[in-house]
A and B are shown apart, each in its own frame.
Chain A
Amino acid sequence: MKTMKKQLIGGALGLSLALSFAAPSLALLADDHEEDSYLAIVGGDIFAGTGEVLRGATLLSKNGKIEEIGYELILPDGCETVDAHGMRVYPGLVALSATTRLTQGTFAAGVEIHDFVPHEEHSEICGDCGKSFEEIVPPALDPGEFSTEHLATDAFRTDFDDSFDPFSGYMVMALGNGITTVQQSSAAVKLKRGDISGVSLSEKTLTSQSWSGSNPAGKADLREKFRLATEYLADYRRWEEAVKSDKELKEPSKKGIDGRILDILEGRTMARFSANERADLLGIARLAQQFKFRPVIQGCVEGWTVAEELGRAGAFAIVTPRTRRDRSETTTHEGGSSIENAAILTRAGVQVAVVPANTSIDMGGISGRDLLSLPLEAGFAIRGGMDERAALESITVVPARLLGIDHRVGTLEIGKDCDALITDGDLLHYQTFVQYTVVEGKLVYDKQEEVFYSHIRPRPEAAVDPGEEVSGEVESVEVEEIVEEESDEE
């Protein structure tokens, strides 16, 4: 293992005197521990995802967590470095509803191997047979929603821990497009390459609930469940108080109370609704306000028509800005899809997460619509008026928040997981490529080292010798707010 040498301390102190004007952050004079592993992303423009941009700064990871972000960092001996000069550094993207093939690999076709099977050449996958890769190679089974029992037993261990394929080619493609965390059913899974430890992150789970105008009885049922659960909670709290003085009082009965609704009301899980129509959205918003919980609304196509209500309800919306839906002819209200949906919802205070229309990975040739197109999809939100910062958040920290993992991922902040991507330009620009991806302080993707994209605009040789002592660009130490210019209407 790489160790930090004692001599570093002296060197660091000397340097700090020389650089006092630049307010240097001194890195890591602490723990000289054998097991510590360091990685530094050096000299890039760091877009922290919090609105801050540090030009030409360095980000240091220690044992997978962000230790320091700043200038003039003293790097420990043996610290692995990634040269990001002239590049940009962003937080890893968080992809909601991602295909399970990402985490379960491409080699897991369900064949029995108890008998020796002489190797048949598996049918060549042809580029011209008109079939997509998905059609030829059957996808691994989706384990589907699983019970929360798994979560209770073993520190968020889920079925995904046991089925995670740390060498999945699809995962490498996702990493190559900036995705470092994915949602699988109700688990959040970290895309750790070559490692299966601690891949599940979720603390909260999502609980699907149904609310649809086409099922009035179902709506009534759900409302009743919320009412009963709320009453139970009130009774319980009263009892909690009363029992202090009268030990004989009986605890209120849980009979007839839906445990999942209790989980929602007590914040252990979030209620996820799949809804697009104005009336349904209004219904959900009002239900949420009445019973005081924050709904997650997937789809939310007509959300822009009732954005204020959704904002008041503290809703999360998972939207695909490009979605098309014609206005219903049977209503006099505004309706149908709007490219401005994401922007309008955000302005109304709704937490907007963006997902592409297709959350699998398209290997058949259609580009710009699948899971790998998260930044393009966020671009469509900007087209509809969302600001650049909210658009970046819609594919990083908002989905992290929704999954209850924003204390670990979604922004580049000290103490959080060091999940970062290094791009050759503006992440939201269509020409930009992810050059490197780092997950928990480990370099897991280098565009030039993988077959997929290395031939497209190959990266020139690193301009800076990685061994050379790195100094910050002192003149650009100010922290800027991302203010992207928007050419507005006349």
Chain B
Amino acid sequence: MAALTSLTLLVASTLVPGVSGTGDAYADVRPIEIHNAPVATPSLAIRCGRVLTMNAGDTILDPGMLLVENGDITYVGAPIDVPAGFESIELDEAWVTPGFIDLHSHIHAGGWGDTNDMVMPTNHEFSTRPTIVAGNPNVRRACAAGVTTIFGIPGSGTSISGFGVLLKTKTESTYEGAVLADPGGMKVAQTHNPERRAGDIGATRAGLGWLLEEVNDRAVQARDTGSFDPALANLTRIHAGELPVLIHCAGNEGVASTVRMWKGRYDTRCAVSHGSFDGWYTADYVASMGVPVNHGPRTFNFNLGMKEGRIVGTSAAYVEAGVPLFSLNTDAPVIPQEELFLQGSVSVHHGADAYTMLKALTIHPARTFGIEDRVGSLEVGKDADLVIWTGDPLDPRTRAEVVVIDGEVQYQRTHDGQWF
């Protein structure tokens, strides 16, 4: 056992020189964190009528300009002269936003396939990596609708269905070219799906809770003792705070038990995903615990539980309760990936604020998963993932004219035709 551990350490440190501290011992032995090797991309100068930077200062430039070099943003601000050697894109009426991010998506495999491996109730060492079909039609359409980053995750058929991959929606790419982080984080299903009806453990919420705590306690022990167990390697990284965990849950008791377990008991970098139905009843508690909410595909609650008879806009309810990082998802293909923006539109219709919903599509999901140094806002040094729209991106009448990922134009309507 000791020999195996030291061997692993050796391999891990060889492959992942960037990982340090306690994380070393639990590092995945497989290749991770493949940063895209910068390739020669043209430098772009983009000048538009309105630039929504989504930065911490909520800077909106009317008009604004961006410079893109080697895949990164090198200038954001008032229009300046286009430097020599830059390709210029100039659209006076258009709006620019960061590419949208969906933390709950299943389109990486091209459809509904390969989402649930249902034999064991917890499958924490699985990964969606082998299922990825980069540049599949769903991904391409998503890109053409301004969605540039997705967290491609397994389903919710088991309590832990494995690890997902953060992918850019490049229209023609390979896994290696599109990956932003692998593993990007873990997927857990707390309630409302993993309930097992096969006669084994996990038929009740009590059984499901025990399944999760039993395996989490072992991972915590592994973390605290520094021992290495290949069956717990990635899960231990969750408990070391190295990776986030996205938790499928719904209903007030589901959301509350999620926050209680993953934040209260284990203090992980957890995010509530879905939080549907009357989950919003617990919004105050979620907010007080500082847990981000990644909401969708349901965005309203016709309040049959409380019988108030109201159409409650649940996005607004979470935001108003003070949830620190509120983001939106589609659970694609439950809602088609290209309609991520519409989750913002309908949330606004049902009472939420439009700018906050734009945050919920950009910087909030980025910060929820700790990838805000790369994506989620238009700031110097970040990946040049941006969308040029014909107007308000939340309006279905608006379309994406140009989508840039890592500084490369992935989609240009006038060139490619209108994909969405």
- Residues of A422-459 at the interface with B, using a CB-CB cut-off of 8 Å, are 428-433, 451-457
Task: Verify A128–B251 contact, CB threshold 8 A.
Answer: yes
CB pair B394–A430 under 8 Å, yes or no, is yes
Q: Which of A340, A363, A430 contacts B395 (CB 8 A)?
A: A430
Task: Map CB proximity to A onto B69-98 as digits: 1 under 8 Å, 0 otherwise.
Answer: 000000000000000000000110110000
Query: Which positions 174-225 of chain A face chain B at CB distance < 8 Å?
Result: none
Which residue of A is nearest B389, CB measured?
Answer: A487
Q: How far is the CB of B297 from chain A (nearest CB, A)?
A: 6
Residues of B within 8 A of A340 (CB): 418
Tell me the dominant secondary structure on chain A's binding face.
loop
Instruction: Indicate whether A127 sits within 8 Å of B395 (C-beta atoms), given known contacts A367-B349, A456-B311.
Output: no
B100 near A: Cβ within 8 Å? no
Selected interface stretch from A62-70, A96-104, A279-287, A378-386: A378-386
Which A residues between 304 and 355 are near B, CB-CB below 8 angstroms? 322, 324, 326, 338-340
- Taking a contact as CB atoms under 8 Å apart, the answer to whether A430 and B345 are in contact is yes
Q: Is the CB of B297 within 8 A of A366?
A: yes
Whether A365 sits at the interface, judged by CB under 8 Å, is: yes
B354 lies within 8 A of A431 (CB): yes
What total count of A-B pairs have CB within 8 Å? 139
* Contact B301 A365, beta carbon cutoff 8 Å: yes
Q: Which of B305, B311, B336, B339 contacts A127 (CB 8 A)?
A: B305
Alpha-carbon gap, A324 to B306, bound state (A): 37
Q: Which of A128, A376, A433, A486 has the most CB of B within 10 A?
A: A128
Interface residue ranges of A406-433 to B (CB < 8 Å): 428-433
When C-beta atoms are compared, the residue in chain B nearest to A368 turns out to be B346
CA distance A102 to B342 in the complex (A): 25
Contact B299 A125 (CB under 8 A): no
Whether the Cβ atoms of A452 and B310 lie closer than 8 Å is yes
C-alpha spacing A486/B413, complex, angstroms: 15
Give residues of chain B (204-248) contacting chain A, Cβ–Cβ below 8 Å: none
Given contacts A128-B253, A451-B308, contact A456 B419 (CB under 8 A): no
Q: Cβ of A368: which chain B residues have Cβ within 8 Å of it?
A: 339, 342-343, 345-346, 349
Residues from 300 to 316 in B contacting A, C-beta threshold 8 Å: 300-306, 308-311, 313-314
User: Could you write out 28 A-B pairs with CB less than 8 Å apart?
Assistant: A126-B305, A127-B277, A128-B254, A338-B418, A339-B419, A339-B420, A363-B304, A365-B298, A365-B302, A366-B297, A366-B299, A366-B334, A367-B350, A368-B342, A376-B345, A382-B397, A383-B397, A428-B397, A430-B394, A430-B395, A432-B349, A452-B309, A455-B351, A456-B313, A488-B390, A489-B414, A490-B90, A490-B414
With contact pairs A127-B277, A339-B418, A383-B397 given, residues A326 and B137 touching in the complex (Cβ less than 8 Å)? yes
A416 to B314, CA, bound (A): 40
Question: In whole angstroms, what is the CA distance A367 to B302 when docked?
Answer: 11
CA distance A428 to B308 in the complex (A): 28
Contacts of A487 in B (CB 8 A): 91, 93-94, 390-391
A418 to B257: give the CA distance in the assembly, Å: 53
Q: Is A369 on the interface with B (CB-CB < 8 A)?
A: yes
Interface residue? B385 (CB, 8 A): no
Extra inter-chain contacts (12) besides given A127-B278, A430-B348, A486-B390, CB under 8 Å = A128-B277, A133-B302, A365-B276, A365-B301, A366-B335, A431-B349, A452-B310, A456-B313, A457-B351, A487-B94, A490-B90, A490-B91
Total count of chain B residues near the partner, CB < 8 A: 60
Residues of B contacting A380 in the complex (Cβ-Cβ under 8 angstroms)? 396-397
Q: Which of A126, A339, A385 has the most CB of B within 10 A?
A: A339
Let me know if A127 and B301 touch, CB within 8 A.
yes
Also in contact, A451 and B309, with CB within 8 A (given A126-B304, A366-B297): yes
Mark interface residues in B165-204 (1 if CB within 8 Å of A CB, else 0): 0000000000000000000000000001100000000000
A residues near B397, Cβ cutoff 8 Å: 379-380, 382-383, 428
Q: Which residues of chain A have C-beta atoms less than 8 A from B137's C-beta?
A: 326
Known: A365-B277, A368-B346. A383 touches B302 (CB 8 A): no
In the A-B complex, list the 5 residue pairs whose CB atoms are closest, starting with the nearest. Answer: A128-B251, A365-B298, A127-B305, A379-B396, A127-B278
Cα(A329)–Cα(B186), bound, Å: 36
* Minimum CB–CB distance for B69 against chain A, Å: 22
Q: Is A130 an interface residue (CB 8 A)?
A: yes
Query: Is A267 an interface residue when CB atoms closer than 8 A count as contact?
Result: no
Identify the closest chain A residue to B253 (Cβ): A128
Q: Which chain B residues border A366 with CB–CB below 8 Å?
A: 297-299, 334-335
Interchain nearest-CB distance for B411 vs A (Å): 13
Chain A residues numbered 126-149 whose CB sits less than 8 Å from any CB in chain B: 126-130, 133
Q: Which residues of B contact A322 (CB under 8 A)?
A: 336, 339
Bound-complex Cα distance A364 to B276 (A): 9
Q: Is B399 an interface residue (CB 8 A)?
A: yes
Find out whether the CB atom of A489 lies under 8 angstroms from the CB atom of B396.
no
Residues of A within 8 A of B391 (CB): 487
Q: A383 touching B310 by the CB < 8 A rule?
A: no
Whole-angstrom distance from the CB of B306 to the nearest CB of chain A? 7
CB-CB under 8 A from B310, the residues of chain A are: 451-455
Report B359-411 residues with CB < 8 Å from chain A CB.
390-391, 394-399, 401
A339 / chain B contacts, CB cutoff of 8 Å: 399, 418-420
A429 to B306, CA, bound (A): 30
Q: Which of B279, B304, B343, B345 has the most CB of A within 10 A?
A: B304
A367:B253 contact, CB within 8 angstroms: no
Q: How far is the CA of A428 from the CA of B413 in the complex (A)?
A: 23
Q: Which residues of A have CB within 8 Å of B308? A: 451
Whether B141 is near chain A, meaning CB under 8 Å from some CB there, is: yes
Q: Are A133 and B401 in contact (CB under 8 A)?
A: no
CA A428 to CA B299, docked complex, whole Å:
20
Cβ-neighbour of A430 out of B94, B314, B349, B420 (below 8 A): B349
Task: Give every chain A residue within 8 A of B305 (Cβ-Cβ).
Answer: 124-128
Q: How far is the CA of A338 from the CA of B101 in the complex (A)?
A: 24
The reply to whether B342 and A489 form a contact with Cβ atoms under 8 Å apart is no
**Whole-angstrom CA separation of A400 from B128 in the bound complex:** 49
The distance in angstroms between the C-alpha atoms of A127 and B309, with both chains bound, is 12
- CB contacts under 8 Å to B, within A365-402, are 365-369, 376, 379-380, 382-385
How distant is B174 from chain A, measured CB to nearest CB, in Å? 21
Q: Given the complex, which residues of B lie within 8 Å of A385, measured CB to CB? A: 418
Beta-carbon contacts of B134-146 to A below 8 Å, as 1s and 0s? Answer: 0001000100000
- Residues of B with C-beta under 8 A to A383: 396-399, 420
B252: CB under 8 A from chain A? yes
Contact call A376/B311, Cβ cutoff below 8 A? no
A126 to B281, CA, bound (A): 13
Least CB distance, B49 to chain A, in whole angstroms: 9
Q: Cβ of A126: which chain B residues have Cβ within 8 Å of it?
A: 251, 277-278, 304-305
Residues from chain B with Cβ under 8 Å of A454 in the complex? 310
Q: Is B150 an interface residue (CB 8 A)?
A: no
Contacts of B253 in A (CB 8 A): 128
> Do residues B279 and A128 form an inter-chain contact, with CB atoms below 8 A?
yes
A443-479 interface mask toward B, CB cutoff 8 Å, 1 = contact, 0 = none? 0000000011111110000000000000000000000
User: Which residues of A are found within 8 Å of B349, using beta-carbon distances?
Assistant: 367-368, 430-433
Whether B250 is near chain A, meaning CB under 8 Å from some CB there, is yes
Name the CB-closest residue of A to B415. Answer: A489
CA distance A486 to B391 in the complex (A): 9
Cα A368 to Cα B299 in complex, Å, equals: 10
Nearest chain B residue, comparing its CB with the CB of A484? B397
A335 vs chain B, min Cβ distance (A): 13
> Considering only CB atoms, which chain B residue lies closest to A361 in the complex?
B302
